[in-house]
Structure 1
Amino acid sequence: MRIAHSRHRSRDSDLPGIVGVARVDARTKNLTKRLGAGEVAVIDHRDLDRVGAEALAARRPAAVVNAAPSTSGRYPNLGPGILLEAGIPLLDDCGAGVMAVPDGSTVQLEGGSLYRDGVLVARGTLQTAETVAASLEAARAGLSEQLEAFATNTMEYLRRERDLLLDGVGVPDIRTDLAGRHVLLVVRGYHYREDLRTLRSYIREFRPVMIGVDGGADALLQEGYLPDLIVGDMDSVSDRALSCGAELVVHAYRDGRAPGLERLERLGLPTVVFPAAGTSEDVAMLLADDSGASLIVAVGTHATLVEFLDKGRSGMASTFLTRLRVGGKLVDAKGVSRLYRNRISTLQILLLVLAGTVALLAALWSTAAGQVFFIYVQDRWADFTFWLERLTS
């Protein structure tokens, strides 16, 4: 336990280190909705993943204080490194008691200690590039155990959901027509903004059906697109997105419980319930596949081993098997922005336009008609300058 309440910091040096308003929430994705620039994020996020770290960094907090170890050694997660690269201090592994810091109170981070009203409330490890690198190296050594657990969990999931995965049993009927059409499936995950912008030409040409997975619906709206379907447990999607006219499919637990259903009923929105044991991302893929989509272009989804591990052991198997189930229909847009990044600079374009203009003028001058044109332009310019001289005299 790293919590202490009896020790006071010295009063001789007022407010050293980092001072800010504390925003406290055990769920990182809920905290980022109300975290302001310059505030101190207090989270309880074991193995801080890339999506969580990027969401925190985008809010530009003064510091992040984590009650849990940001890298436990389970796998080489990328979150701590992302925060440090963004210049955000990370006080790590402070213990569960730090979550008792009142939300909205002013806290002070000094070295590896956190104070409130001059009272020491938590001690942790102030991460550096060296400590993060050492943690990642140690975590890589434990990957074999995670792979064994992944194989075991995959078989368990396959036994539970074989009817759904193999025969589509339990997939609900929806009114949105996907038969024979392309589907753009958006998850607010890795590089989703870059991928959406890169796919603008594809979207204009093929007019795919837009499916937003929870917060992915807001991502579509932010880029100027209107989702046709919203799939998920509805905990991280805005009321604006829910009310945009899209068909709503609530991801429920296998036993039929759907915590997000109550919210939609309060809003008076019609819904379809899809009970399944996988993640909302997996449910959306299965729904598109079973509804006859000819191609599924996935934005922000999980594709690599580290990304599967980021989801936690419970989500790894469902995503792996769902991708096998969808097969050749699935195209990941994750790398498109890297492959097709614009390599022509603005200066190069301006130089090209200038060279073309010079060549055009030279071609005109070489002809009789062109010379007459230049004489005419010269006369008109002389008239214009003479008029300006009279106007100012």
Structure 2
Amino acid sequence: MALFSRNPEQPGALRDCTPGAKGMKKFSEGDVAVIDAANISRHEAQTLVDLKPSAVINVAEFSTGSIPNYGPHMLLDADITLLEGVGQSFVSEFKEGKRARIGEDGTVFSGDKALGTGRMVTRERAEKNFASAQGALIDHMESFFGNSIDFINSEGPLLIDGLGVPASGSEIAGRKVVLFSPTDKHREQLKQLRNFIREYEPLLIAVGAAADSLLAQGYKPDFIIGDPNSVSDEALRCGARVIVPADPEGEVEGLDRIQDLGIGAMTFPAATHSGTDLGLLFADYHGADLIVQAGGGVDLDDIFEDRTNPSAVLSRLKAGTKVVDADAVINLYSAPSSNLGWLWALLGILVAIAVVILIVGFGGNQDFASNLSETWSSLFGGA
């Protein structure tokens, strides 16, 4: 693979192409794309290929070995130099637009300053990672579905007939429910769901620490599900009904906390302690009309990359079409941006002027034109 030239006249400006950065807009053919994309997909790779970079520097690994992804092959087919694993510190070290070169050992230089070091990705390495990932994915999926069968075997009565679901929740029937899980994005999603909440007044189910997020934004949860040790005293005492996960033998984490606070709580015995999974089963069992899940969902990539478990998948399958991701609802309630605001303002001014003219023209004792002339003369005649 060709390395960057030491000649400063050669192209090779570093461009930050990580999510939210502005490097994509400034990108010119031959620049160097800096990304943070583990297991880069074909779509992501094609976006880079279209930019025609001389090299792509990845903070993460182009392929971690967890899934067989074609992204690295597409970039190599386009004769693009690939450097991976430079680490998060590299993002803060380089300056947007500065020219760079890559040494034979994978060190990135800007002038004489070393910004970081990574690994060169060759065709041989990409093929080896792909083959290894194929085998690992098959092994992982066999294990995942084996665990799914075990979960169904132990929790079939819960999944089929709702055995063990707390009985207190009859008011959920026919209502819309928003289930908040305490992930990185749930607070922002809560703000963006305010119009939906105002219009439909759904019941609010908070999982663990999400109860405190609801209180902080002026909402009171109707139900709190999860380990009480992750919830503040204020939230536990806010009037919400508290549901505490219990293992199949009946042991409950956080029971001492509930007793010390002197509040009532219901137990939910199951083979999973995930408040989100239990919340979905709880809302579905009691007949929720719609369940909006805020704080992250589950997709096939999560299964492939071992970011979820069988209970998460099966609980969502049980709730079926009732479950809607919060981002979908937010998208429906987001008005498209418009650049025509100035036109509406101008139209409003013109309408106001026309109204004034009509009032003046028809408001006098003379004909329309004479009334306008007399009013104009009285206002500006002495100017």
Please give the range of the TM-score, normalised by the shorter of the 2 chains: 0.5 to 0.7
Q: Indicate yes or no: 2:313 matched with 1:327.
A: no
SS at match of 1:173: coil
Specify which of 192, 201, 208 is matched with residue 214 of structure 1: 208
Conservation of the 8 A alpha-carbon contact between 2:137 and 2:304: no
Conservation of the 8 A alpha-carbon contact between 1:190 and 1:334: no
How far the C-alpha of 1:209 sits from its partner, in A, is 0.9
Q: State the alpha-carbon separation in 2 of the partners of residues 299 and 374 from structure 1.
A: 64
Conservation of the 8 A alpha-carbon contact between 1:297 and 1:331: yes
Q: Which residue of 2 aligns with 1:284?
A: 279
How far the C-alpha of 1:323 sits from its partner, in A, is 1.4
Q: Indicate yes or no: 2:213 matched with 1:256.
A: no
TM-score normalised to the size of structure 2?
0.58
Q: Which residue of 1 aligns with 2:45?
A: none
**Aligned residue type for 2:212:** D
SS at match of 1:335: helix
Q: State the alpha-carbon separation in 2 of the partners of residues 378 and 238 from structure 1.
A: 72
Q: State the alpha-carbon separation in 1 of the partners of residues 377 and 270 from structure 2.
A: 78
Q: State the alpha-carbon separation in 2 of the partners of residues 260 and 154 from structure 1.
A: 28
CA gap 1:349/1:242 in 2 versus in 1, 3 angstroms: farther
Conservation of the 8 A alpha-carbon contact between 1:215 and 1:237: yes
Specify which of 262, 272, 287 is matched with residue 268 of structure 1: 262
Q: Which residue of 2 aligns with 1:171?
A: 165
The worse-fitting range, judged by mean Cα deviation, of 241-250 and 228-237 is 228-237
Q: Indicate yes or no: 2:340 matched with 1:344.
A: no
SS at match of 1:244: coil
CA gap 1:148/1:247 in 2 versus in 1, 3 angstroms: same
Q: Indicate yes or no: 2:214 matched with 1:224.
A: no
Q: Indicate yes or no: 2:295 matched with 1:300.
A: yes
CA gap 1:360/1:72 in 2 versus in 1, 3 angstroms: same
Conservation of the 8 A alpha-carbon contact between 2:245 and 2:253: no
Q: Indicate yes or no: 2:183 matched with 1:189.
A: yes
Q: Which residue of 1 aligns with 2:357?
A: 365
Alignment: residue pair count: 272
Conservation of the 8 A alpha-carbon contact between 1:176 and 1:229: no
Q: State the alpha-carbon separation in 1 of the partners of residues 227 and 144 from structure 2.
A: 24
Q: What is the 5 A alignment of 1:114-193?
A: 141=134, 142-174=136-168, 177-189=171-183, 191-193=185-187
Q: State the alpha-carbon separation in 1 of the partners of residues 375 and 287 from structure 2.
A: 66
Q: State the alpha-carbon separation in 2 of the partners of residues 230 and 129 from structure 1.
A: 47
CA gap 1:268/1:296 in 2 versus in 1, 3 angstroms: same
Flag structure 2 segments of 5+ consecutive residues without an equivalent.
1-37, 39-60, 69-83, 94-115
How far the C-alpha of 1:144 sits from its partner, in A, is 3.2
Specify which of 326, 337, 346 is matched with residue 354 of structure 1: 346
Query: Cα RMSD between the aligned structures?
Result: 4.2
Conservation of the 8 A alpha-carbon contact between 2:66 and 2:305: no
SS at match of 1:334: helix
Identity %: 34
Q: What is the 5 A alignment of 1:66-77?
A: 73-74=65-66
How far the C-alpha of 1:369 sits from its partner, in A, is 3.6
CA gap 1:177/1:366 in 2 versus in 1, 3 angstroms: closer
TM-score normalised to the size of structure 1?
0.57
Conservation of the 8 A alpha-carbon contact between 2:195 and 2:333: no
How far the C-alpha of 1:230 sits from its partner, in A, is 0.3
Conservation of the 8 A alpha-carbon contact between 2:170 and 2:286: no
Conservation of the 8 A alpha-carbon contact between 1:295 and 1:331: yes
Conservation of the 8 A alpha-carbon contact between 1:281 and 1:301: no
CA gap 1:177/1:356 in 2 versus in 1, 3 angstroms: same
Q: State the alpha-carbon separation in 1 of the partners of residues 325 and 352 from structure 2.
A: 45
The 4+ residue runs of structure 1 with deviation greater than 6 A are: 126-131, 373-383
Q: Indicate yes or no: 2:195 matched with 1:201.
A: yes
Conservation of the 8 A alpha-carbon contact between 1:210 and 1:227: yes
CA gap 1:148/1:217 in 2 versus in 1, 3 angstroms: same
Q: Which residue of 1 aligns with 2:104?
A: none
How far the C-alpha of 1:242 sits from its partner, in A, is 1.7
How far the C-alpha of 1:361 sits from its partner, in A, is 1.0
How far the C-alpha of 1:269 sits from its partner, in A, is 1.8
